[in-house]
Amino acid sequence: MDKLSDAELYTWEFLEENGAKVQLSSITQIAELAHVSTATVVRTLKKRGFEGYSDYKNTLKRGKNNERNERIKGLSEEASVFINKNIDEVQRTINLLDADELAKIVSAINEAHSIMIVARGPSASVADDLTHRLQTLGKNAVSRYYDNMVLYAESLTANDLVIAVSSAGETQMIISAVKKAKKNGVKTVLLTCNYQSTLTTLSDFVLRSYKSKIEKSRLLGDASSRMPLELICRILLDLVAIYQEKGTIRE
């Protein structure tokens, strides 16, 4: 599947977030709502494997008839909504994966002399798990969560790699660490839920995950944002293992 540009990625996420409006709107109307051209809408959909706007609308209608939004037997409506939220995050995150970007990231991880993984707040637990699993794959990986991440970044060389785990992509300490590393020629990978952020602009490679707008802060707090990041970390680790065994993840 062809890689989406930033404008196309924005368009795709707009379409996915506004399925009900898409089914009731012409391509001209939906382009105006998204503040993009009709050509961008068509180009985006073709890159995602659709013949055009009508094909996408028909797919949405078929999905509407088969969607898993009904209440799960034995559970309340609220519980069912949040289970379906997780299913939706998984499906949409997988839809955002780009084969070329994945191949480049896996290659960079394999070639790196050392890997510094940086995160703050709730993302730190995701980064910690990623670090330990990379270590089990034989990589020299270390996690940095505090002020020393900036100092540590200054010691890295062009043979090393930085992986930033940041849901919003706007954590100032991580931004400072990435900037320091890049001054030394270090390649940077970003794992994020936000495709329009400072870290997205700074990073050489980006893996984007989808975070549902349905939240339950009373129960989950910021932890609700971890699951999409955990998913792309797991996918990335599986691909690194395949690369080590086969020498490639491509066809």
Domain ranges of the chain: 1-67, 99-246
**Rounded average pLDDT over 169-183:** 95
3-state secondary structure 15-50: HHHCHHHHHHCCHHHHHHHHCCCHHHHHHHHHHCCC
Distance between the two ends of the chain, CA-based, in angstroms? 13
The tokens describing 9, both together, are 């990625």
CATH 3.30.70.1450 fits 1-67, yes or no: no
- Cα(213)–Cα(89) distance, integer angstroms: 10
CA proximity to 221, closest of 122, 112, 137, 90: 122
CATH of 99-246, one of 3.30.70.100, 3.20.190.10, 3.40.50.10490, 2.60.120.10: 3.40.50.10490
What H or E segment, with its residue span, contains residue 144? strand 141-144
Among the ranges 8-17, 22-31, 236-245, which has the highest mean pLDDT value? 236-245
Give tens-digit pLDDT for 102-131. 999 999 999 999 999 999 988 899 999 999
Residues 6+ away with beta carbon under 8 Å from 18: 30, 33
- Mean pLDDT (whole number) for 159-163: 98
| pLDDT tens column, 43-57 | 999 888 788 899 888
**pLDDT band for position 64 (cuts 50, 70, 90):** low
Averaging pLDDT over each range in 44-48, 147-151, 164-168, which range is the top one? 164-168
Residue 67 has pLDDT above 60, yes or no: no
The alpha-carbon radius of gyration of the chain (Å, integer) is: 19
Percent of the chain with pLDDT over 90: 55
- Which percentage of the chain shows pLDDT scores above 70? 90
Is the pLDDT at 160 greater than 70, yes or no?
yes
